[in-house]
Structure 1
Amino acid sequence: MSPINYDLLRRVVPTGYDQYRDDIAHGKIETVEYFSKTIGCKRRAMIYIPPGYPDGQGEYNVLYLLHGIGGDEEEWYNHAGPQVILDNLYADNKLARMIVVLPNGRAMQNDRAEGNLFDADKLKAFEDFEFDLLYDLIPYVESNYTVLTRRENRALAGLSMGGGQSLNIGLGNLDHFAWIGGFSSAPNTKEPELLVSNPEDAAAKLSLLWLSCGLLDNLKHVSDRTHAYLERNDVPHIWYEESGGHDWPVWKNDLYHFSQLIFR
């Protein structure tokens, strides 16, 4: 199956999609603490709760949305206002029922984005986040929120370093995630032969694999090689090349599109 060509998406991002609207219902962003057995301490995450939650009509899906190497659990909130984008989509009936979890993908005792971000221990902490996510954060969310708990009800996506994490963790744990997105994925992304060692299995289990990158992004070669491998091995995916570089206008646009496609 060939990848879906998403060039047409460039012309359907409406003006004001990321602007606060007074005339609609609004969700909220809350900060939670959970205990990480992986790290041995409490950790923080932010969670977007949609308007009306819980509404008594059933459980919600969960999107785990990851930040880049220079950020933390507040990066999306501080730079992209995801709650505004999501509120607007909810108001226009363009989203499936979901909460959105914004974790800290640097799984270490001092998880702040400070000092040399490329220190070996900090880079390893991004790898260790896989265990924190699977065995600490997801169980916390599923014990404390009205959410569905099957793989079909979990999505994982992120930008830059978080995009690499999303592909590495998501494609390596298809028993946990059916919807995966890499936005401008960074060089921490595994070689595609390691990411998808069994193309037939991945093709059968994935509900959506989204890859996107700005045409002016200096890291585009990482996404290019992944897309080429997937195409060569008939793994269905969306490949979306968009105007822009390695920056927030691109990632906000990705969130706008990706969030509408998941849990359908």
Structure 2
Amino acid sequence: MKRFILFFACLTSISLVAAQEVLNWKDDEIVSPVVNADNSLTISLFAPNAKKVELTGNFLYAGKEIPDKYADGDWSPQLMNKDTNGRWTLTTAPLKPEFYSYNLIVDGVKITDPKNIYMVRDIGNTYSVTLVGGGVDGLYAVKNVPHGTVRKVWYDSPTAGLKRRMTVYTPAGYETSKRSYPVLYLLHGMGGDENAWEELGRATQILDNLIAEGKAEPMVVVMPNGNISQEAAPGEGSRGFVTAAMRYPKTMDGNFEKAFPDIIRFVEKVYRVKKDKANRAIAGLSMGGFHSIYTALNNPDTFDYIGLFSAAFNQMAKDGDSLSPIYKNIDEKFKTLCKKSPKLIWIGIGKDDFLSHDDENLRAALDKESYKYAYLKTKGGHTWRNWREYLATFAQKLFK
């Protein structure tokens, strides 16, 4: 009997050890992603029954240097490797510091990384994200510096006939000081919303770090929702959990620009901001660049700083009786705007951006008026990698 008990105990111990060896490789033991010492990424997934797992992300073309030509979407999925315990892994090449996004494709189904709690939504898609290094010399990281405050704010827009939501950043010290601050109105692209610049653009981290380093003036940053027919981002308005869309009704038809004074009136009533042209800036990416230039053209005494990041610009908007008055008499509006001598019109675009023709038309309109704008052409296409960099560059030039 004693021999049997001893044998059973030994057998049980061996089984437990073997089981523990397997469990160590199961889902609870996996950490993903891992940023390695050489700035490569290791992505892992426990999926013992999957027949094929691939990794797709905006780092798969990238080594330490960005290729001369690329656009988001120019990467092909890479097959991950499966071990005998059912764990799939892939380690990338060493990467340049940047804010990266990725997905896993499991037997043809695209998913986020179940071991990575950090995700973003871009239009109707969700992505797992990670930060390698700090990105643009560390500006994208949360550092031990004084931090500003981010609020989600509702305001009344009589022009739109809606109460609408926007994101407002106030710099560190705003709550305890009595000073008034300059204000940057920062606009998102098509399919985005009031959350885009904060979540995808790292605007909060960029401003916190630039201000702390003395490279940017403390400022209030207002990030409105450019979809004028919508109250707020999907799931944040009275319509509930609606499906996100690329294009909403009344998109780029003049209604947003027409309603923009509602935003300025609210901000200048509620926040301690300076209320003159010299202390107002407007900037935006893609559709937000479109909104920025047309808002400025129709309000030539309002903004001294205009930032156009991969901006859409419809040169044909000056023709046609059915168009909004916002888009008519564009030549005269450019003439008026340039005569008002804004301190800075800053333009940035990637050399592979599909809006390069719009960029050429925009610059031609300014060249016609002999206005000396600032211009930056970078690698790449229509991508957040560029827009984050443009914001970091533009913000350092404001209100000085």
State the AA in 1 paired with 2:173: G
- Equivalent in 61, 82, 87 of residue 203 of structure 2: 82
- In the alignment, the residues of structure 1 paired with residue 244 and residue 165 of structure 2 have an alpha-carbon distance, to the nearest angstrom, of 20
- CA distances 1:123-171 after superposition (whole Å, capped 9, x unpaired): 25x621123221x211111111111111111111000000111011112
Q: Post-superposition shift, 1:64?
A: 0.4
State the AA in 2 paired with 1:183: F
- Does the 8 Å contact 2:290/2:312 carry over to 1? yes
Larger RCO, structures 1/2 (Cα 8 Å, 6+ apart): 1
Which runs of no fewer than 5 residues in structure 1 stay unpaired?
1-12
State the AA in 1 paired with 2:306: I
* Structure-2 residue corresponding to 1:127: 254
* Structure-2 residue corresponding to 1:73: 194
- In the alignment, the residues of structure 1 paired with residue 314 and residue 246 of structure 2 have an alpha-carbon distance, to the nearest angstrom, of 13
State the AA in 2 paired with 1:130: E
2:137 equivalent to 1:15: yes
Aligned-pair Cα RMSD in Å:
2.3
- CA distances 1:36-66 after superposition (whole Å, capped 9, x unpaired): 1012221000001111114535210110000
* Structure-1 residue corresponding to 2:355: 219
Q: Post-superposition shift, 1:204?
A: 3.6
- Equivalent in 261, 265, 277 of residue 139 of structure 1: 265
SS across alignment from 1:152: helix
| Structure 2 CA distance for partners of 1:158 and 1:122, relative to 1, 3 Å | same
- Does the 8 Å contact 2:309/2:390 carry over to 1? yes
SS across alignment from 2:250: helix
- In the alignment, the residues of structure 1 paired with residue 383 and residue 282 of structure 2 have an alpha-carbon distance, to the nearest angstrom, of 20
- Does the 8 Å contact 1:36/1:43 carry over to 2? yes
| Structure 2 CA distance for partners of 1:236 and 1:55, relative to 1, 3 Å | farther
- CA distances 1:100-139 after superposition (whole Å, capped 9, x unpaired): 00000111245557566446x3325x621123221x2111
- In the alignment, the residues of structure 2 paired with residue 116 and residue 53 of structure 1 have an alpha-carbon distance, to the nearest angstrom, of 35
Number of aligned residue pairs: 248
2:152 equivalent to 1:26: no
* Structure-1 residue corresponding to 2:301: 175
Identify the structure with the greater helix proportion.
1
- In the alignment, the residues of structure 1 paired with residue 389 and residue 199 of structure 2 have an alpha-carbon distance, to the nearest angstrom, of 16
Pairing 1:91-102 to 2, within 5 Å after superposition: 91-102=212-223
- CA distances 1:245-264 after superposition (whole Å, capped 9, x unpaired): 10001000110011111111
- In the alignment, the residues of structure 2 paired with residue 198 and residue 46 of structure 1 have an alpha-carbon distance, to the nearest angstrom, of 30
Q: Post-superposition shift, 1:27?
A: 0.9
Pairing 1:181-200 to 2, within 5 Å after superposition: 181-188=307-314, 190=317, 194=330, 197-199=333-335
- Equivalent in 349, 354, 369 of residue 233 of structure 1: 369
State the AA in 2 paired with 1:27: G
- CA distances 1:160-200 after superposition (whole Å, capped 9, x unpaired): 00011101111221111111111001245756981664537
SS across alignment from 1:88: helix
- In the alignment, the residues of structure 2 paired with residue 185 and residue 123 of structure 1 have an alpha-carbon distance, to the nearest angstrom, of 15
- In the alignment, the residues of structure 1 paired with residue 190 and residue 304 of structure 2 have an alpha-carbon distance, to the nearest angstrom, of 25
- In the alignment, the residues of structure 2 paired with residue 35 and residue 194 of structure 1 have an alpha-carbon distance, to the nearest angstrom, of 29
Is the radius of gyration larger for structure 1 or structure 2?
Answer: 2
2:173 equivalent to 1:45: no
* Structure-2 residue corresponding to 1:4: none
Which runs of no fewer than 5 residues in structure 2 stay unpaired?
1-134, 235-242, 319-326
- In the alignment, the residues of structure 2 paired with residue 34 and residue 194 of structure 1 have an alpha-carbon distance, to the nearest angstrom, of 30
Q: Post-superposition shift, 1:202?
A: 1.2
- In the alignment, the residues of structure 2 paired with residue 260 and residue 181 of structure 1 have an alpha-carbon distance, to the nearest angstrom, of 12
Normalised by the length of structure 1, the TM-score is 0.86
Normalised by the length of structure 2, the TM-score is 0.58
- In the alignment, the residues of structure 1 paired with residue 142 and residue 244 of structure 2 have an alpha-carbon distance, to the nearest angstrom, of 35
- Equivalent in 338, 342, 348 of residue 206 of structure 1: 342
